[in-house]
Amino acid sequence: MATQTATPTITLNNGVPIPQLGLGTWQMDDNEEAEQAVAGALEAGYRLIDTATLYRNEQYIGDALTGSGLARDEYFVTTKLWKDSHAYGDALQAFDDSRDRLGLDYLDLYLIHWPNGTSYREAWRALERLYDEKCVRAIGVSNFSPDQLKDLLARANVPPAVNQIELHPLKPQRDTRNFCQQHDIRIQSYSPLQRASGGVLDQPELQELADRYNKTPAQIILRWHIQHDFVVIPKSSNPGRQRQNIDIFDFHLTDTDMATIDNLA
Ligand code: A2P
């Protein structure tokens, strides 16, 4: 099968490049599903795999990475610290456990999964140590509001490279986006298709755009994320939909069409 146009990379605030589109693996909790989905995605050209301790699939993702035959520097792996491990020593241990399950020497990106009160302050010190010791190439957060980011930035020696948030045209998160843009924190969009709660794929405006660009509504939405300079991680276990979701680098939405999607919410 012809390979898709290569996924572009985007540079994080510490100079590390990250592929702009990757595979989300939330709800791939059937072990075989996770391994097969990741193996298929790597074959289809995905080079960013996003997981978390919470997803309980790191080991199977590790198997798929090892089985892919790709060199370590050809793919980018993100995982996340769960909120029961925010104490300094617990966070260091949780990182080691994730890295072992993934079978990797280092991680590319490690995120605090949820702020959990103010316990993220202590967890961040552990992530800074892991970063300083080069166990991980970039560190960041997930599900942080502007106020929580402000608090973290005031205390941090290493600013977060990423804030991964639920973001799609019906949940545009404008305040968080503005804050992150001002502070050079890259937005990663999870649930970019809002499939779980339904709705966005069925908007008539998206179908009209899909018809005009000869793409699917999902491809139009993913392209909207790309043109906003977000890193986007759609989840799919289906080989056809995986290929569809990465086949978005051969067209460009006009400013008017971007505005149409911006105005859905
Ligand atoms: P499946 O794994 O069967 O493909 P999100 O990442 O926004 O949360 O969306 C994930 C959900 O959307 C999954 O249920 C996934 O199902 C489905 N999905 C992924 N890609 C597409 C697509 N291109 N068109 C329709 N549904 C999709």
DSSP, residue by residue, 50-74: E--GGGT-HHHHHHHHHHH---GGG
Check pLDDT > 50 for residue 2. Answer: no
Check pLDDT > 60 for residue 3. Answer: no
Those residues whose C-beta lies under 8 Å from the C-beta of residue 98, and which sit 6 or more positions away, are 53, 58, 79, 107, 110
First to last CA, the chain: 38
Helix residue ranges, H only, 103-254: 120-132, 146-155, 174-182, 204-213, 217-227, 239-246
Residues with CB under 6 A from ligand 1: 24, 191-196, 216, 218, 234-238, 241, 244-245
Question: What pLDDT digit, counting tens, does each position of 163-172 carry?
Answer: 999 999 999 9
Question: What pLDDT digit, counting tens, does each position of 51-103 carry?
Answer: 999 999 999 999 999 999 999 999 999 999 999 999 999 999 999 999 999 99
Question: What pLDDT digit, counting tens, does each position of 149-165 carry?
Answer: 999 999 999 999 999 99
The predicted pLDDT at position 196 comes to 60
Percent of the chain with pLDDT over 70: 97
Residues 83, 113 contacting (CB under 8 angstroms): yes
CA 152-154-155 angle, to 5 degrees, is 70
Tell me how far the alpha carbon of residue 87 lies from the centroid of ligand 1, in angstroms. Answer: 35
Residues 177, 154 contacting (CB under 8 angstroms): no
pLDDT tier at 199, thresholds 50, 70, 90: confident
Strand partners, 164: 142, 188
CA atoms within 13 A on the CB side of 29: 7
Over the chain, what is the mean pLDDT? 95
Residues with catalytic roles: 55
Smallest CA separation from ligand 1 atom 12, residue: 195
DSSP letter (8 states) at residue 159: -
Those residues whose C-beta lies under 8 Å from the C-beta of residue 255, and which sit 6 or more positions away, are none
Predicted TM-score (pTM) of this structure: 0.96
Residues 14, 54: Cα–Cα separation, whole Å: 27
Smallest CA separation from ligand 1 atom 24, residue: 218
Tell me how far the alpha carbon of residue 2 lies from the centroid of ligand 1, in angstroms. Answer: 22
Tell me how far the alpha carbon of residue 106 lies from the centroid of ligand 1, in angstroms. Answer: 29
